[in-house]
Structure 1
Amino acid sequence: MITAEGFGLKGPRGWVFRDVTFSAPTGSLIAVEGASGSGRTCLLLALTGRMRAGEGHAEVAGHRLPRQLAAVRRVAALGLVDGVSELDPALTVGEHLDERVLLQRRFGDSLRELMRPRAVRETAGRRRVTEALDAAGLDPATLPKAERTAARDLERLEALRLGTALALLGRPEVLAVDDADHKLGPAEREQAWAMLRGIAAGGTTVLAVCTEAPEGAVVVRTQAPVAAAGTDTDTETGGSAGTTSEEGAADAHAEAGSA
């Protein structure tokens, strides 16, 4: 379950987003809808524990933000987010999957899991990859060079599916995806939303940034704060004079890695 009340984040040059309030049960598809520069990605990062909000509070899987950032990071995984969790264009699909399995085994699994025989761990890793690929709707055999296809050669929807599969390898309670409908045609957009609906139906709550929310989603709208001309005080919508939301978002986004 994810809830937020009066949730807001202010960067060095103004409010990035402010007064976000909503509630969504476990297994929801939550669409963070808004124009570019309206703080959508920063809200996504704040709700997954990668940024520290400065106003209001939120609760993710029973963990309260902004106090319990580390606990939220443990249960919330990021799909593709530019500048934060991107695909390496030089690595192949298979290399991405192998690398993520190794990282999950080393840093994500319990000590008991690490003590199991190597053959057992490798079998479990292969099963986990198969489950993640199935949920993301990605069949490497259909790619131009199968698992040897480089990430730079993937179409946008294929890259979105791969990024989603990599996030699902950790079996998170919350999956966050940025720009879910970016550069997709109508048919591809529907396929992307069908994938995310299926993941949500399986019990994983999905947070997806988009330009236009799909039917049936819990919609959370962001809006670029409007500055009151000639004043230094915040306006009703949370903007500061002389400051754009895009500038504030850029400043706050740069701090995501240190959250």
Structure 2
Amino acid sequence: MVEITTAEPEKFWDPIPGSLVSARGVELKGPWGHVFGPLDLDIDEGGVTVIAGQAGAARTALLMALCGRMRLTGGSLTVFGHVNRPAKVFAQSAIACLNELDEVRPSVTVRDMVTEQLRWDSAWYKLVPRVHEDAVERMCAEVFGDVPLPALNAFVDDLPEISQLLLRIAVANTRRPPLLVVGRTDRIADDDERLVFLERLVALGERQSVVTADVNPVPPGVGVRGTVDLRGLLGAGDVGVMTEGR
């Protein structure tokens, strides 16, 4: 007698209205040891949520896990109603400003970055020529807002820090998925530029759920929807997995 079995259906949570992420006992262990966890956290849908915690491998790994770029080793992570299904979350999210994923070489120009992304977004059989200023404006205007757009032939490495980060967001966010994860907020040294950067994320949060991280307090009145305080719970992490900003 042959026993016929069917694949176990995907388990869904009973979502709280307006909830985007629910994590219970999530943890990550790398080849060389413990990275973070176990942690519990909840993130509401819409607007900007800041994860407050020390910069390092643990924080980077958590951000990557929230958008389906890293598989956890323990606990339950529910995003968009998908329980422990990183591939499902990957398809509905974008991530920017993490050197482990989108670091830009010094020799790359603004034109190079925009052209390459348009080629990735186009069908394989379409020829996409090198772009001009109008393509940079179409891709970047919403993200940059009142911040001046970068010059077409400028080297990305020569741009102000805030322009570099906004450009990386614009390139990563062309599909406008429901979830946008942004790292490196606390790498902006100038307080005024950091405030402008957060304001640009808040503007994007009117159409997407935006999650970022910062070791510094969030300035009052900037419009950030919520803060998840993981200070003391996210250490430097396992440097054998990854290191942030090195």
Settle same-fold status: TM greater than 0.5. Answer: yes
- 1:74 maps to which of 91, 101, 114: 91
Cα shift readout 1:1-45 (whole Å, capped 9, x = no counterpart): 222222211223433221332222321312121123371111001
- 2:140 maps to which of 133, 137, 140: 133
What's the counterpart of residue 184 of structure 1? 189
Deviation at 1:194, TM superposition (A): 0.1
Q: Contact 2:110–2:152 (CA<8 Å) still a contact in 1?
A: yes
Q: Structure 1 vs Structure 2: percent identity of aligned residues?
A: 24
What's the counterpart of residue 26 of structure 1? 45
Deviation at 1:213, TM superposition (A): 4.4
Paired residues in the alignment total 217
Structure 2 SS opposite 1:77: strand
List gaps (5 residues or longer) in structure 2. Answer: 1-19
For residues 70 and 79 of structure 1, the distance between their equivalents in structure 2, rounded to whole angstroms, comes to 18
For residues 127 and 6 of structure 1, the distance between their equivalents in structure 2, rounded to whole angstroms, comes to 47
For residues 174 and 194 of structure 1, the distance between their equivalents in structure 2, rounded to whole angstroms, comes to 17
Q: TM-score, normalised by structure 1?
A: 0.73
Q: Does 1:199 align with 2:200?
A: no
- 1:104 maps to which of 117, 121, 124: 121
For residues 63 and 55 of structure 1, the distance between their equivalents in structure 2, rounded to whole angstroms, comes to 15
One-letter amino acid matched to 1:205: S
For residues 16 and 184 of structure 1, the distance between their equivalents in structure 2, rounded to whole angstroms, comes to 27
What's the counterpart of residue 231 of structure 1? none
Change in Cα spacing, 1:194 to 1:55, as seen in structure 2 (3 Å) is same
Change in Cα spacing, 1:211 to 1:132, as seen in structure 2 (3 Å) is farther
Change in Cα spacing, 1:141 to 1:60, as seen in structure 2 (3 Å) is same
What is the RMSD computed on CA atoms of the aligned residues?
2.9
Deviation at 1:58, TM superposition (A): 1.5
- 2:169 maps to which of 164, 169, 185: 164
Bigger share in helix: 1
Deviation at 1:218, TM superposition (A): 2.2
Cα shift readout 1:179-208 (whole Å, capped 9, x = no counterpart): 113133111011000000010112x11111
Deviation at 1:169, TM superposition (A): 0.8
Give 1:38-117 correspondences, 5 Å limit.
39-65=58-84, 68-106=85-123
Q: TM-score, normalised by structure 2?
A: 0.76
One-letter amino acid matched to 2:236: E
- 2:33 maps to which of 3, 14, 24: 14
For residues 225 and 195 of structure 2, the distance between their equivalents in structure 1, rounded to whole angstroms, comes to 13
Cα shift readout 1:138-178 (whole Å, capped 9, x = no counterpart): 689754xx111011111110101101101111222111111
- 1:219 maps to which of 224, 227, 236: 227
List gaps (5 residues or longer) in structure 1. Answer: 108-113, 226-236, 238-244, 255-259
Q: Contact 1:17–1:223 (CA<8 Å) still a contact in 2?
A: no
Deviation at 1:46, TM superposition (A): 1.0
